[in-house]
Amino acid sequence: MPTTVPAYGKEAAERLASMADVTASDGALRRFLHGLPGVDAVGLQARAATLGTRSIKTTAKAYAIDLAISMIDLTTLEGADTPGKVRALCAKGANPDPTDRTVPKVAAICVYGDMVATAKEALASAGGSDIHVAAVATAFPSGRAAMPVKLADTRDAVAAGADEIDMVIDRGAFLSGRYLEVFEEIKQVKEACARPDGGAAHLKVIFETGELQTYDNVRRASWLAMLAGADFIKTSTGKVAVNATPPVTLLMLEAVRDFRATTGVQVGVKPAGGIRTSKDAIKYLVMVNETLGEEWLTADWFRFGASSLLNDLLMQRQKLRTGHYSGPDYVTVD
Amino acid sequence: MSDRNDRLSVLKTYKLFVGGTFPRSESGRVYEVTDAKDRWLANAPQASQKDARDAVVAARKAFGGWSGATAYNRGQILYRVAEMLEGRRDQFVREVADAEGLSKSKAGAQVDAAIDRWVWYAGWSDKIAQIAGSANPVAGPYFNLSSPEPTGVVAVLAPQDSSFLGLVSVIAPAIVTGNTTVVVTSENHPLPALSLGEVLATSDLPGGVVNVLSGRTAEIAAPLAAHQDVNAIDLTGAAPELATELETAAAENLKRVVRPQPVDWSADPGTGRMLSFLETKTVWHPMGV
């Protein structure tokens, strides 16, 4: 097995260049993606269900709750977002439970591109300048815009100071089999993530798995995005009926595992949408640990895209600390 | 030809009533329920701390809709419960007779009184505001109006002795004003309460307004009394030492507490139990000139 390098490093680009033969033409890419083994749907669902039955209690649960909090991309992606709401969210991310200073900070604040500057400023003043700001880009959530518009959208967010870019793929192109088009799209957005100082915003690629119809498509999309240089692969926008599900996330975790075994490049995973309870979050953590191992159990390699999940984790944390059940009156409304 | 006596008996599996559905206890436990002469009647689910938590979540979820429903609508639904009870009168007479060791006629009188009590409380839904509310004279150009509002989620420890009339007499006054409830049944006589759940489920009462848990009173009541998302607790079914303990735990988030006291369930109940679970909201409205 090749030595492991992170997806955002220089070496990763060299490793991916060594795979250039499979991405050389639309035909080659299609042959490669359709040559991936088919997904055993029943086996996948059974495996995901089994991993969801682990009992995580007491100190292990306390550890899992803190870990989950530190992995949250605290998200607000509404048409009605105001600077005030973004500032409130940043304050909450920096200090999730005002009654308990031992609660870890969240990993990132996820907002629309035009709110990046507001979020940056608010985080700095709330004492959370180490919290990343993630911006959704490329005509989120539909991905229906011309390429120059998507690239401008991305550059704009990066220029405003975004540390991470969450892009959506063009599902229309993917589903009609124009894989190279999607590949080029991701590649160009990745280039647009570069900052003048030589660094780059990390790129998360959203598949919107609820629209990809089959597990086979999810596996192909995962490989496609990782070959194109994604730093993270993310399930959903949270804007359609079906969001992150355990089987789909497990499938993406397996793709990440296989990709590392092949190329040595380490990629992160972010399930998003529909994860609302501590119980769900812990199930995902179990899945990560069993599929990828402890190396992925950090906010650098695994994230939750969520908003209401944080309140539930805080209530569970209060329960563990005080011994009695807490209620929604004791966490912020957001 | 088979004769009627060859039929296999169909025994009823009594279940909890939480959020409008009938789950078994999360713990999988049951306990034996016996009649007044110690003969086995049925196995009842023995609810755990987690069942209590789930019931509170269900009650909280139901609160917005139930407290927001019009008083007229709540009254109609409570009356509907009485209608449904009337149709299943025989079943409740049997269960009450078995549980409390009463004759058929005495048990029948208890069930009739319980049905009448539902009707009586149903009528109060759009009248309680006139009794507990007021238009207050103030020194300024304002209409000053006080109106009673439901307090929220109420944990109810049903009386241990009166398995049906007593039960109805503690549930109905809590929900008629718009509260939602988590009811802990009589520990030794839970069957009428569990059957009441089946009646409530078919009476248009939104799921989660009444949640019924059977089991060891002390075990279920402790997490409810300490729960930060429960707004009031009725300790009627708690023994004296347990009641003290629960009241201490309830003080943590300043729950409203109804202390246990000897009650004659067949007497006129008065408005006391309804008024125990209300908060007063006062509005100052400019009068205009």
Considering only the beta carbons, identify the residue of B223, B228, B249 that sits closest to A327: B228
Nearest Cα to Cα of residue A267 among A216, A223, A219: A223
pLDDT in tens, A289-305: 999 999 999 999 999 99
Q: Determine the Cα–Cα distance for residues A304 and A315; give it in Å rounded to an integer.
A: 17
Average confidence (pLDDT) over A174-193: 96
Measured between beta carbons, which residues in chain A are less than 8 angstroms from residue B223?
A: 324-325
Measured between beta carbons, which residues in chain B are less than 8 angstroms from residue A333?
A: none
pLDDT confidence of residue A18: 86
Characterize the bridge pairing of strands B278-286 and B142-150: antiparallel
How far A328 CA lies from chain B's nearest CA (Å)? 7
pLDDT confidence of residue B2: 53
Measured between beta carbons, which residues in chain B are less than 8 angstroms from residue A326?
A: 228-229
HSE-up of A176 (CA within 13 Å, CB side)?
5
**Beta strand ranges found along chain A (DSSP E):** 5-6, 72-75, 108-112, 132-137, 164-168, 202-206, 232-234, 265-266, 268-270, 304-306
ipTM: 0.83
pLDDT band at B4 (very low <50, low <70, confident <90, very high): low
- Given a cut of 70, is residue B159 above it in pLDDT? yes
Average confidence (pLDDT) over B122-135: 96
| CATH placement of domain B15-286 | 3.40.605.10
CB contact under 8 Å between B227 and A325, yes or no, is yes
Closest chain A CA to residue B252:
A324
- Given a cut of 60, is residue A127 above it in pLDDT? yes
Average confidence (pLDDT) over A216-237: 96
How far B154 CA lies from chain A's nearest CA (Å)? 14
- Given a cut of 70, is residue B3 above it in pLDDT? no
| Partners of B146 in beta bridges | B134, B282
pLDDT confidence of residue B289: 65
pLDDT confidence of residue A269: 97
- Given a cut of 60, is residue B75 above it in pLDDT? yes
* DSSP character string of B97-140: HHHHT--HHHHHHHHHHHHHHHHHHHHHTTTHHHHH-EEEP-SS
How far B116 CA lies from chain A's nearest CA (Å)? 36
Structure tokens, B153? 């989620």
Structure tokens, A237? 């926008």
Closest chain A CA to residue B227:
A325
CB contact under 8 Å between B249 and A324, yes or no, is yes
Measured between beta carbons, which residues in chain B are less than 8 angstroms from residue A328?
A: 60, 229
Q: Determine the Cα–Cα distance for residues A304 and B110; give it in Å rounded to an integer.
A: 56
Q: For an interface test with B, which of A278, A320, A324, A330 has the most B Cβ atoms less than 10 Å from its Cβ? A: A324
- Given a cut of 60, is residue B280 above it in pLDDT? yes
Q: Distances in Å between the alpha carbon of A264 and those of A12, A37, A186, B56?
A: 8, 20, 20, 49
pLDDT band at B245 (very low <50, low <70, confident <90, very high): very high
CB contact under 8 Å between A323 and B226, yes or no, is yes
Q: For an interface test with A, which of B228, B229, B233, B248 has the most A Cβ atoms less than 10 Å from its Cβ? A: B228
CB contact under 8 Å between A325 and B60, yes or no, is no
Is residue A311 less than 8 Å (CB to CB) from chain B? no
Nearest Cα to Cα of residue A261 among A37, A15, A33: A15
CB contact under 8 Å between A330 and B252, yes or no, is no
> Is A10 designated active site?
no
Measured between beta carbons, which residues in chain A are less than 8 angstroms from residue B228?
A: 324-327, 329-330
Q: Active-site residue among A73, A166, A231, A280?
A: A166
pLDDT confidence of residue A228: 95
CB contact under 8 Å between B228 and A323, yes or no, is no
Place of tokens 């793709």: A255
- Any alpha helices (H) in B125-187, and if so which ranges? 128-132, 165-176
CB contact under 8 Å between A325 and B229, yes or no, is yes
CB contact under 8 Å between B228 and A329, yes or no, is yes
Q: Active-site residue among A234, A280, A283, A312?
A: A234
Q: Determine the Cα–Cα distance for residues B209 and B60; give it in Å rounded to an integer.
A: 9
Is residue A57 less than 8 Å (CB to CB) from chain B? no
Place of tokens 């009337």: B86
Place of tokens 């639904």: B77
Q: A302 with A296: CB under 8 angstroms?
A: yes
Measured between beta carbons, which residues in chain A are less than 8 angstroms from residue B229?
A: 325-329
pLDDT confidence of residue A46: 97
List the Cα angle A232/A9/A24 in 5-degree steps. 75
| Partners of A137 in beta bridges | A167
Q: For the whole prediction, is pTM greater than 0.95?
A: no
Stated length of chain A: 334
Q: b/e string for A304-329 if b means 16 or more Cβ within 10 A?
A: bbbbebbbbbbbbbbbeeeebbbbee
DSSP B205: P
User: So where are chain B's domains?
Assistant: 15-286
pLDDT confidence of residue A34: 96
pLDDT confidence of residue A9: 85
Is residue A63 less than 8 Å (CB to CB) from chain B? no
CB contact under 8 Å between B226 and A329, yes or no, is no
pLDDT band at A2 (very low <50, low <70, confident <90, very high): confident
CB contact under 8 Å between A327 and B60, yes or no, is yes
Is residue A148 less than 8 Å (CB to CB) from chain B? no
- Given a cut of 90, is residue A333 above it in pLDDT? no
Q: Determine the Cα–Cα distance for residues A119 and A121; give it in Å rounded to an integer.
A: 5
HSE-up of A251 (CA within 13 Å, CB side)?
30
**Number of neighbouring beta carbons within 10 Å of residue A11:** 14
Measured between beta carbons, which residues in chain B are less than 8 angstroms from residue A325?
A: 53, 56, 223, 226-229
Of the CATH numbers 3.20.20.70, 1.10.3210.10, 3.30.420.40, 3.90.1300.10, which one belongs to the domain with range A5-322? 3.20.20.70
pLDDT band at A3 (very low <50, low <70, confident <90, very high): confident
Structure tokens, A224? 């496609």
DSSP-derived 3-state class of residue B256: strand
> Is A234 designated active site?
yes
pLDDT confidence of residue B265: 95
pLDDT in tens, A258-277: 999 999 999 999 999 999 99
Q: Which residues of B touch A (CB under 8 A)?
A: 53, 56, 60, 223, 226-230, 249, 252
How far A263 CA lies from chain B's nearest CA (Å)? 46
CB contact under 8 Å between A325 and B228, yes or no, is yes
CB contact under 8 Å between A324 and B228, yes or no, is yes
CB contact under 8 Å between B252 and A326, yes or no, is no
> Is A166 designated active site?
yes
Interface A-B: count of C-beta contacts within 8 A: 26
Is residue A197 less than 8 Å (CB to CB) from chain B? no
Q: Determine the Cα–Cα distance for residues A92 and A71; give it in Å rounded to an integer.
A: 14
Q: Determine the Cα–Cα distance for residues A69 and A299; give it in Å rounded to an integer.
A: 9
DSSP-derived 3-state class of residue B81: helix
pLDDT band at A1 (very low <50, low <70, confident <90, very high): low
Least confident of A8-12, A184-188, B63-67, B116-120: A8-12
CA B265 to chain centre: 15
- Given a cut of 90, is residue A10 above it in pLDDT? no
pLDDT confidence of residue A334: 72
CA A256 to chain centre: 13
Task: Return all residues near A293 (Cβ < 8 A) that are at least 6 apart.
Answer: none
